[in-house]
Structure formats: C-alpha cells, structure tokens
A and B are shown apart, each in its own frame.
Chain A
Amino acid sequence: MSLLEISNLVASVNDQPILRGIDLEVCAGEVHAIMGPNGSGKSTLANVIAGKEDYQIDRGCIALEGQEITSLSPEERAHRGLFLAFQYPIEIPGVSNMEFLKVAVDSHARATGTPEITAVDFMKTARSAAEQLGLNPEFLKRGVNEGFSGGEKKRNEILQMLMLNPKVSILDETDSGLDIDALRTVANGVSEFSNPTNAVVLVTHYQRLLDHIEPDFVHVIANGTIVRSGDRSLALELEEKGYGWLEDT
C-alpha cells in the first residue's frame, strides 16, 4: 500500500526554484534512502513534505495514504502520521523533554479522537524508549535539546519518533554528527521501529548509515530532481565514484 506519494513536485524559496519535479512513491514496510550532494534539494524536499512555510509549492502534489496534504498545516500533517527528524534539532529552554513529549502525544490523541494515555503509562513508555536508545531516564527531565550534545539531539529526535509512532518517518541527516556507537544505537532504534505497516525515508549525504539500516530503494537527487533510483548497490556505487559522475549524465 502506498503511504507517501509525491508527483511532479516543484517548489521554490523566494522565487528560487529548488525542487524541479520530484516523483516518489513509498509503500508500507519499505525503507527508502534519498542521497545527493550538498544543495541538491534533499532537505528542502523533507521540509516541504512536512509543510514548512518559507517554501512555495509551485506545482505537483503530495499524498499521505492517498490523501492530498499540501493544503494542510504542519500539525495536521503530523496528526495524519507524518514525522520529520530534524537535521539541526532546536532547543526549547525550560520545557522538559517529558512535558514536550506528553503535550505532543496528547495533541495527537485529541486530533485523532483516540483516548489520552495516562501519565503513568506515558512515563513507562517514555522510559523504555529512552533506554532503548541508550539514554538515561534523567534525560527526560532536561529541557528539550537544552545543552544536549550533537549525538543526544539526534537520539532525542528518534525518541520522539518512537513515542509518536508515525506512519511515515523522514529522517533528515540523522547520521551526521554521530560517532560510530551512537550511529549504531540510532540505526538499531530505527530498524526495530520499521515494520510492515510503516515506512522510513532516510535523507543522507553518506552511505555509512546504510551499513546499519538496509534500504529497499536508493534515490539520488541532483539539481532538484531524482536522477537515479536503484537498490542498495546504487549507494555503494556512489560511495565509490562520488556524486560528480551523476551531474554529467
């Protein structure tokens, strides 16, 4: 079943075209990797899907489970099961991680008409998710990303993903800034989360994350379009040859 379907997506920032016609279909149970050189439009694509204002959609559509979402607000997209792990997670001083997660989870429950989770159950779930990612439970009491190391910030994004249990997760450069142990922990968290009912889209510059999470499909973006799609071997080819050869084609 198709969870995310993007067709002929053209988008710009301040009248500068960034995405020049993207087509992508992601089905349940799949892991996709989107690779490409700096400035190719990878992060723009992730942000446009999540509904960040600043970007103008000039053409095309984005559908989540068959429903057009381009006219929806970022929170409405989130409520329908879209998640974006940020490349540079931002701090919210004084708001504890626990409070932030609870408010987010409750907002989802309200929007989808499901009963709110009790505080006790919530704490249990949050603690076990933190543990799974190698985070001390004390971590939950700290301000959101406040004074976190780069690795902690990225793990915190994955923690939020586990708590919100989205249908489609887009992880924007989640591997950057992680040492090899943290990379493994995060990759394990994502692999365990991935199941036949959801989908994961990894946006990455390097293929090293793909050593830990096996993608079903690899797409290469250059100049705002997908220039190549293939399987795992495409990533290895890129590793070997770099991105330069793509631009000539």
Chain B
Amino acid sequence: MASTDSKDDNTLDDLVGRDYAAGFVTDIEADTLPPGLDEDVIRFISARKSEPEWLTQWRLDAYHGWLEMVEPSWGQVQFPAIDYQSISYYSAPSGDQPKTLEDVDPELLATYDKLGIPLHEQAALAGVSEPQQAPTVAVDAVFDSVSIGTTFKEELRKAGVIFCSFSEAVHDHPDLIRKYLGSVVPRGDNFFAALNSAVFSDGSFVYVPENTRCPMELSTYFRINERNTGQFERTLIIAEPGAYVSYLEGCTAPMRDENQLHAAVVELVALDDAEIKYSTVQNWYPGDEHGRGGIYNFVTKRGACRGDRSKISWTQVETGSAITWKYPSVVLRGDDSVGEFYSVALTNNHQQADTGTKMVHLGKNTRSTIISKGISAGQSSNAYRGLVRMNPGAAKARNYTQCDSLLIGEKCAAHTFPYIESRRRDGVIEHEATTSRVSDEQLFLCRQRGIEPEKAVSMIVNGFCRDVFRELPMEFAVEAGKLLEVSLEGAVG
C-alpha cells in the first residue's frame, strides 16, 4: 500500500504497544495465604488485623451473602470463568507492620520511587520542577493487601483531617467506620462488592471535619506485587458539612502471564455544602499484545451526596487492566446537590472495558454532568454504560450526558449503552453521543506538517480527551497525557 519502500510503513493499523513501565516485580519476603476462600480465611484476615468482633461478623455476613450470588453477566466483556478458590486473599510484606515511614523496608520505598511516587515527605510528585512551588500531596501506599505508610499525617492532623490506612481507622476511629462502612455500597450490593466486603484487606480512610478545606491533595497508590493474589481494598471518604477534599488514586501491577483480580469498593459521603473530588489514574497491567495476563478490574465506586448543595465529582483516566468493569456513581439525595463524572477510557490490544456511571436523582434541583471519552485501538472493545434516573422527588432535576468514542484502526469496537429512567415531567435530560475515527487523513495532515506519527496520534487523542483532562488536578493532567501517549505507542506505525 505504501507508495514507496520508505523505512516506516506508518499507517494507522499499527501505532500501539510500548513496554509497560510499571511491570517489574519487587523481590520481598511476603506472608501470603494459600489460595482458597472459606470462613477460616475471613477469620484469619480479621484476626490478623485485630478487628473488633462486629467487623468479623460483618465480613462473614457478606461472605454468606456472596455465596448465594452469581457473577454479573450483562457486561460487554468476555473472560473465562474465575476460579475463586485459586486466588490467595491475603498477602503482606513479612515482619511487623512498620510504625513510621522510617521503619518501612527500603526495598518497598525503592519500589515506589521507581514508580515515581515519593514516600518521603518532601515536595510532591515526580516531574514537578520547582519544589517550593510544587503542590504538596499526601500519599497512602497500599502494597498487595496492606498499607505500608502514609505521608504528611501530622500536618493533616493539625488541620483536623484524618488520612490513614483503613486498618488504622478501624482501631483509631471505630465509631466513624461503624457508622459509614457499607452505608453507600451495601454488603450485598453486587457480587464483587460482596466479595470485597468479606475479604477486604486494606485501603484508605479520609475524614474532613466541618468547614475544613483539606490543605493538600490526598492520594493513594495501589500496587499489586505478589503472584496469584487478589487485591481487595476499600476506601471511605467522609466530608462533613462545608468540607472540601480532592483525592487521587493510582494503580499499577507487575507483568504476569496469569490474570489477577482487583475488586475494590470506594464509598464517598458528602454532607451539606461539602465537596469531594475523586480522581483516578488507573494503569493496572493490561496484559500483553496477545491478550495474555493483565488485571481484572471489577470495582464498585459510589458517592452519596447526602447533604443539600453537596457535590461529588469523579474523574477517571483508565488506561490499564485486561478488563475494566466499573461505574463510579452518585446518589443525589440532598437538594441542589451536584454529581459529575468525567471519564477517559482507553483500550488497546485485547483490552476490554465496560465502564460508565450512574446518576440517581432523588433531591430537588439536583444536577448531574457526564462526559465520557472512550478510545479504542488494536482489537479492543470499549463500552460506555450509563444510567440516569430521576425519582419522583427529584423536582426540576437536570442531566447532561456527552458520550464520545474514538476508534483507532479497523479491528476495535466501541459500544454505548445509555439507560434513562425519568419519573418526572419537569426533568431535563440531554444526551449527546458521537463516534469518530483517527483517520489516515488526520494523520497525513500532521505528518505533512512535519509531526511524527506517534506524536500526531497522541496529540489527536489528547485533543479528544481535553474536556476530561481539564478536570484533573494539573500535575496529574500532565501525567495522564503522558500515560495515554505510552499506552498508545505502536497504535500507528
């Protein structure tokens, strides 16, 4: 097809597939449970964390509920049956839990350094040049099943903000945990949430007191390291009246030939006038170019706008995982509350994504915005699935949904499944959807102007995602742009 014997046959069919930079394994002694799941495993996890009896019981109840449930099959994804008895449900670096960051195994610190996540309390993220100007970010690092350390705890405590691992919160703030755990995502909500409720190991806990603006960005960095383990973390964020917090999670895993399961639950609670901004940059190992290996990312994320004028905003950039199944949602209970969902989901090679959101309008004058950008390359499949529901009490509720798909090459697929249920005559629901393609003409225009094909594709894709990247904290927007570039490498070429 190429006109000449030019050294590169850069057409759109081939530009995807650089090495997955986070794919290394940390060689560290770990205490890992043998594979299998029964009551004893749950009691072991609970005992290992010295949990109170009520929580052990809570887990067991979830487990019994789970036994009665079946895996959901409605997703636009295909995978062989998961053998839940072949997964190990707990893995932690050997030795005592480190009390402070100084006690953390240097090998672990080096791991996070290599990933560009500094666990020392100096200014912020890798790639930010001027330390004195760099925004400070507090990090909770979760390695396999446990949190290995949280930075800037003291400084946050001065502001009244609690940011710690979930396990610590169970001990130090039992009343808050008991009050809010499972209050947004009930134990029996769905198959994966029930499994998580039974075996969750660690995660992050955030509490922002009344009328407090959290003084820095909070971030949790999840890392799966051990073979054959699943990761089941739980995150709970509570914003009291008038509070504000911006939170970011990042995720990576080593390259392995087998699939690994990640089934997390995230619960957000915003009271009157509170605002929670939750951003995700998800880069779990996606599997190789033949579709071998990769993470199954089956996650339940939901926020409750309980208070009047409260606001919850989800922003996600999903580039990793073999399969992504997640629908960060907002239940708009408070009057005048606002829910937002901004998503970029990129699939390449054999990746599959079925992702979107649910906006459930209960209160008066509630508003929601959904901007979803799906990018499919290689032989991947990318589906947007979204529900907008206006209940009878949701007077004058409004939703705006914009759902765009971008195709790169000829072998990928994009699907859109919007569900709209309105019980109000005065509700306003707008839905716009487009599908477009990175065309050879766009690529030729760029190349004729001297722009290399890989740069051109990444520029075109970044332009497509602009409306979502605008919502990310600035330093993460840059990271997200770079991540797209890496994930697309080889998609043309």
Q: Which residues of A contact B (CB under 8 A)?
A: 11, 48, 50-57, 70-75, 77-79, 83-84, 86, 89-95, 99-100, 103-104, 107-108, 111, 143, 160, 164
The reply to whether A94 and B439 form a contact with Cβ atoms under 8 Å apart is no
Chain A residues positioned under 8 Å from B10 (CB to CB): 53, 73
The reply to whether A73 and B465 form a contact with Cβ atoms under 8 Å apart is no
3 nearest CB pairs, A to B: A94-B463, A95-B463, A78-B450
The reply to whether B448 and A94 form a contact with Cβ atoms under 8 Å apart is no
- Closest Cβ of chain A to B6, distance in Å, is 5
Interface members, chain B 1-36 (any A CB < 8 Å): 1-11
B447 at the interface (CB under 8 A from A): yes
The reply to whether B450 and A73 form a contact with Cβ atoms under 8 Å apart is no
The reply to whether A48 and B3 form a contact with Cβ atoms under 8 Å apart is yes
Chain B residues positioned under 8 Å from A89 (CB to CB): 445
The reply to whether A73 and B464 form a contact with Cβ atoms under 8 Å apart is no
- Closest Cβ of chain A to B189, distance in Å, is 36
B172 at the interface (CB under 8 A from A): no
Interface of A is mostly: mixed
The reply to whether B459 and A52 form a contact with Cβ atoms under 8 Å apart is no
The reply to whether B450 and A93 form a contact with Cβ atoms under 8 Å apart is no
Bound-complex Cα distance A212 to B440 (A): 33
Chain B residues positioned under 8 Å from A11 (CB to CB): 3
Bound-complex Cα distance A104 to B447 (A): 9
Question: What is the interface residue range for chain B against chain A?
Answer: 35 or more
B451 at the interface (CB under 8 A from A): yes
- Max chain A C-beta neighbours (<10 A), residue from B445, B450, B459: B450
Other A-B pairs, 10, CB within 8 Å; known A54-B1, A77-B448, A93-B463: A50-B444, A52-B3, A53-B11, A73-B10, A78-B448, A89-B445, A90-B445, A92-B445, A92-B463, A95-B459
Q: Which of A51, A57, A73, A79 contacts B7 (CB 8 A)?
A: A73
Contacts A89-B445, A92-B460, A94-B463 hold; do A75 and B452 have CB atoms under 8 A apart? yes
B40 at the interface (CB under 8 A from A): no
B114 at the interface (CB under 8 A from A): no
The reply to whether A70 and B4 form a contact with Cβ atoms under 8 Å apart is yes
Bound-complex Cα distance A55 to B436 (A): 25
Chain A residues positioned under 8 Å from B466 (CB to CB): 94
Residue of A nearest to B464 (CB): A94
Can you give 26 contacting A-B residue pairs, CB < 8 Å? Answer: A52-B3, A52-B444, A53-B1, A53-B9, A54-B3, A55-B3, A57-B3, A57-B4, A70-B3, A74-B448, A75-B447, A75-B448, A75-B452, A77-B448, A78-B447, A78-B450, A90-B439, A92-B460, A93-B464, A94-B464, A94-B466, A95-B460, A103-B459, A104-B451, A107-B455, A111-B450
- Closest Cβ of chain B to A129, distance in Å, is 15
Chain B residues positioned under 8 Å from A70 (CB to CB): 3-4
The reply to whether B4 and A75 form a contact with Cβ atoms under 8 Å apart is no
Contacts A55-B3, A90-B439, A94-B464 hold; do A50 and B448 have CB atoms under 8 A apart? yes
Bound-complex Cα distance A11 to B8 (A): 20
Bound-complex Cα distance A75 to B10 (A): 11
Bound-complex Cα distance A48 to B2 (A): 11
Bound-complex Cα distance A72 to B5 (A): 8
The reply to whether B460 and A74 form a contact with Cβ atoms under 8 Å apart is no
Chain B residues positioned under 8 Å from A95 (CB to CB): 459-460, 462-463
Bound-complex Cα distance A104 to B449 (A): 6
B83 at the interface (CB under 8 A from A): no
Chain A residues positioned under 8 Å from B1 (CB to CB): 53-54
Contacts A70-B4, A71-B4 hold; do A90 and B442 have CB atoms under 8 A apart? yes
The reply to whether B6 and A107 form a contact with Cβ atoms under 8 Å apart is no
Bound-complex Cα distance A73 to B456 (A): 14
B441 at the interface (CB under 8 A from A): yes
Bound-complex Cα distance A143 to B10 (A): 25
Contacts A53-B3, A53-B9, A90-B439 hold; do A164 and B449 have CB atoms under 8 A apart? yes
